[in-house]
Structure 1
Amino acid sequence: MHLSVVLRVIGLLVMVFSIALIPPIIVSMIYSDETITAFLYAFAINILGGFLLWFPVRNARGELKIRDGFLVTVLFWTVLGLFGSVPFYLAELPNLSFTDALFESVSGLTTTGATILTGIDDLPKSILFYRQLLNWLGGMGIIVLAVAIMPMLGIGGMQLYRAETPGPVKDSKLTPRIAETAKALWLIYATLTTVCALGYWIAGMSLFDAISHSFSTVAIGGFSTHDASIGYFNSVAIELICVFFMIVSAFNFALHFFAWRHRSVWHYLKDPEARFFILVLSSTCILSTLVLALTSTYDWDTSLRYALFETVSIATTAGFGTTDFSAWPNFLPFLLIVTSFIGGCAGSTGGGMKVIRILLILKQGMREIQRLIHPSAVIPVKVGGKAVNERVVSAVWGFFSAYLLIYIVLMIGLMATGLDQVTSWSAVAATLNNLGPGLGEVASSFSSISDPAKWMLCFAMLLGRLEVFTLLVLFTPMFWQK
């Protein structure tokens, strides 16, 4: 393991991240708010901190190995969460403690969207913009962006990409060179963001709100510049635009790449993961609409409107809101939280366990039922007509087991801090799935829970963003053996 090379990479990436503090400084100057000093100090701290990490090992050279890639990924998200919290901590508004500032920073960067803030409408524009920008940077992963410039720094990037890219298959590349892959992904990401912002602006948002919400929509982050989230605008057009881009961003970005490269959309319809994802969304939306209408919660039109938006928002793990779904009747709040465990497709900006894993688990379950009837039959698990390697199926089951075990342990930990069962299980689901809103005490804000609970949930957010194993592997003795 090349610790000096790892520290060099971390230092460089922290200095690169400091550039993200320049746009909020500009926003602060435009709106003449009082946070410019906090952002200037934060910029200096980020530059200095990154420099101090980089300078002692600036001459370190060497190709990153697979273990180095995991270590860089985990350290960077942890360190970045810490450095990203500085503006929140230094600003007079919202006047956060260190724990709250760190929670908000980690939530933004992991695109969880869980917040401890209240009175968001009254916060300085620069703080609001910074929160949205954290969502956007975390959406595709700032490491993937950094990988695009790694060749200029003399550092190989494939190990970082393998450790950072979500989904069960880690070694696939869209283009022969990893730098080209990262650039292609970010070009698609930036294009979707631009088009989304234009759509919001045309639909009636102010330019500031349109840009800000495009960041968190394409990132499936869920942060908003208003307490009422998307419901603040009370616009069907804005809601439909949001629904469209949440779904698009929850698809595997490889599908977008091939659509752009081949000028075709037919592969979306042929992709089994995309089809299953749409099936889950459609079924949940129809069921929610029926329950809301038949229980006279809303009329039929309003039921469809709210059911569509909340289903897509929760199932994709975006976490935007147009109404308080936690107050919906019967089993609907529980159902929507459960859909967040499925999350988006592999290779998307969504959270959760990923659609392809759930699809493989279901197919594996069906195979075991068939084996009861034909014990000697050789029945492969197939996706899209192709047999899936048994090693992949086994890895998916391992991931599923670890995910549920971690969920249970964290839920018990939250209950030990004094939280009730509903708040505990939904808070862990909201953070581990990178969803945002929960039920009970965390339906609108996480401000009321204790600091130990917030630290546990920060850990849950990192676990969810790094897909569990990337972080857990650091706690194994084998990882540190030479």
Structure 2
Amino acid sequence: MQFRSITRIVGLLLALFSITMLAPALVAFIYRDGAGYPFVLTFFLLLAGGGLLWFPNRNYRHELKARDGFLIVVLFWTVIGSAGSVPLMLSEQPDLSVSEAFFESFSGLTTTGATVIVGLDELPKAILFYRQLLQWLGGMGIIVLAVAILPVLGIGGMQLYRAEIPGPVKDTKMTPRIAETAKVLWYIYLTLTVSCALAYWLAGMSAFDAIGHSFSTVAIGGFSTHDASIGHFDSTAVNLITVVFLLISACNFSLHFAAFANNGLNLKFYLRDPEFRAFLVIQLLLWLVVFAMLSGHQVYNSSTETFTQALFQSVSISTTAGYTTTTFAHWPLFLPVLLLFSSFIGGCAGSTGGGMKVIRILLLSLQGTRELKRLVHPRAVYTIKVGNKALRQQVVDAVWGFFSAYALVFVICMLALIATGIEELTAFSAVAATLNNLGPGLGEVAAHFGDINDTAKWVLILAMLFGRLEIFTLLVLFTPTFWRS
């Protein structure tokens, strides 16, 4: 294990992250809200901390192995998540405890969107902007950004990329060089962000709200600058724009690259992708069920409002964004529970969404179908195909392993919450909301997570990390084999 090389890289990444503190400091200066000092101080603290890690190890440039990459990714998210809490602890408004500041920081960086803050409308603009920025940086994974930059400093990137990019198959690159791949991902990400911000602004949002919500929409994060979330704007146009960009962001970004690679939009790349087709079918079925239930119970006065509320909430929750336009916990109980379970599926692999990813659910269903066929024809040989491509048994086994680990982590975290004194429904929904990087839950955490005890907050921070790093990246560090030379 190249510990000194790893320390050097983490120091560089921490110094790089310190630069992001200047953006909310600038916002504080523009709006004269007096909240800039914590960010300026944090900038110097993180820059100094990164320098102290980097300087003694600056000459160690050994080749990274795969397990070095896993350790760097986990260290990065824990170190940056911890560093992100510093300005929240230093700020007078909101007045957060250490546990609350860590929870808010990790929730933002992992794009979970669960908050412990009440009274967002009264907060300084700098704090609101910082929360949105954390989600935007975490959405694609700030390490992928670093992979595009750090090769210039002599740091290899493939190990980091393989550990960071979501999905069961991690060997596919859109361009031959890993740095070029990371740059393409960020070009697409930035283009979507700018387009989303412009659309929000044209729909009536202020420039500040448009930029802030574009950050969390494209990141599928769910943080808002208002307590009422997207419902604050009471606009059908804003709701539909949110739905469109959530669906786009929940798609595999390699599909976006392929569709626009030849200087024009080519929809055939989307339509030929089995995961994308399955994703659309899931979204359609989910909306139909929600619409039918809301209509049957006459929750809203008009069919138009029923249509938009059903569409918005089904897309927002199933893609793990967690935006709300209404208190969906007050709907017939079947619907909140259904939407909560839909977040376990989440977005497509290679997207900014959370959950287990559509491709894994698709493979699990294909594997289940194969086992049913084997019951009828025990001697027949069946292969699992995604599209026209037969998958190796190793990939199928990895999906089953992931599903088992996901369920195990879920159960352990839920039992840990119950042990802290939280009632069962709240514990179940809180773990589902954090492990799936969703945000809102049910029961005591339907509106915010500020009322749960500190021990539960730390358990949920761990659940956020497991969800963001897709279980194995973090879980592998707890195995004795990983640490053997």
TM-score normalised by L of structure 2: 0.99
Deviation at 1:304, TM superposition (A): 1.1
Q: Which residue does 2:57 correspond to in 1?
A: 57
Superimposed CA distance per residue, residues 265-321 of structure 1 (whole angstroms, 9 cap, x where no aligned partner): 211111100010111111010110110111111132211111100000000000101
2:232 matched to which residue of 1? 232
Report the CA distance between 1:330 and its aligned residue.
Answer: 3.6
Q: Counterpart in 2 of 1:20?
A: 20
Q: Deviations over 1:367-413 (max 9, x none)?
A: 10011110000011111122111100000000000101110111011
Q: Map 1:186-335 to 2 at 5 A.
A: 186-262=186-262, 263=264, 264-298=266-300, 299-335=302-338
What is the CA-CA distance between 1:56 and the residue it aligns to? 1.3
After alignment, is 362-371 or 32-41 more displaced? 32-41
Which residue number in structure 1 is paired with residue 388 of structure 2?
385
Per-residue deviation, residues 64-97 of structure 1 (Å, max 9, x unmatched): 1101000000000000001000110000000111
Aligned partner of residue 111 in structure 1, secondary structure: coil
**Residue of structure 2 in register with 1:336 after alignment:** 339
Pick aligned residue for 1:459 from 440, 457, 462: 462
Corresponding residue SS for 1:341:
coil
Tell me which residue corresponds to 1:183: 183
Determine the C-alpha separation between the residues in 2 that align with 1:326 and 1:69: 41
Q: Distance in 1 between matches of 2:391 and 2:151?
A: 34
Name structure 1 gaps, 5 residues minimum.
none
Give distance in 1, aligned partners of 2:279 and 2:194. Answer: 25
* Percent identity between the two aligned chains: 62
Q: Which moved more, 1:263-272 or 1:388-397?
A: 263-272
Q: Residue 166 in 1 paired to residue 166 in 2?
A: yes
What is the aligned partner in structure 2 of residue 417 from structure 1? 420
Structure 2 distance, partners of 1:251, 1:205, is: 25
Instruction: For 1:271 and 1:64, locate their aligned partners in 2 and report how far apart those are by CA, in whole Å.
Output: 34
In 1: Cα distance, 2:255 partner to 2:157 partner? 22
Structure 2: how far apart are the matches of 1:421 and 1:17? 38
Distance 2:127 2:37 in 1: 12
Distance 1:217 1:406 in 2: 27
How far apart are residue 217 of structure 1 and its match? Answer: 0.2
Match of 2:370 among 367, 370, 383: 367
Specify the code of the residue in structure 2 equivalent to 1:189: Y
Alignment of 1:425-464 (within 5 A): 425-464=428-467
Partner Cα separation in structure 2 for residue 270 and residue 334 of structure 1: 32
Q: Does the 8 A contact of 1:140 with 1:219 survive in 2?
A: yes
Matched, 1:105 2:105: yes
Q: Aligned pair 1:69/2:69, yes or no? A: yes
How does 1:1-150 map onto structure 2 within 5 Å? 1-150=1-150
CA distance in 1, matches of 2:171, 2:269: 21
**Do the aligned partners of 1:289 and 1:300 also contact (CA within 8 Å) in 2?**
no
Q: Distance in 2 between matches of 1:419 and 1:304?
A: 35
Task: Give the Cα–Cα distance (whole angstroms) in 2 for the partners of residues 214 and 302 of structure 1.
Answer: 24
TM-score, scaled relative to structure 1: 0.99
Q: What SS does the corresponding residue of 1:319 show, helix, strand or coil?
A: coil
Measured in 1, the distance between the counterparts of 2:67 and 2:388 equals 34
Shift of 1:59: 1.1
CA distance in 1, matches of 2:19, 2:257: 27
- Tell me, in whole angstroms, the C-alpha distance in 2 between the residues paired with 1:184 and 1:427: 35
Alignment-derived partner of residue 470 in structure 1:
473
- Give structure 1 regions of 4+ aligned residues with deviation exceeding 3 angstroms: none
- State the Cα distance separating 1:63 from its structure 2 match: 1.2
Answer yes or no: is 1:407 the counterpart of 2:410: yes
The CA RMSD over aligned residues, in Å, is 0.6
Structure 1 residue matching 2:15: 3-state secondary structure: helix
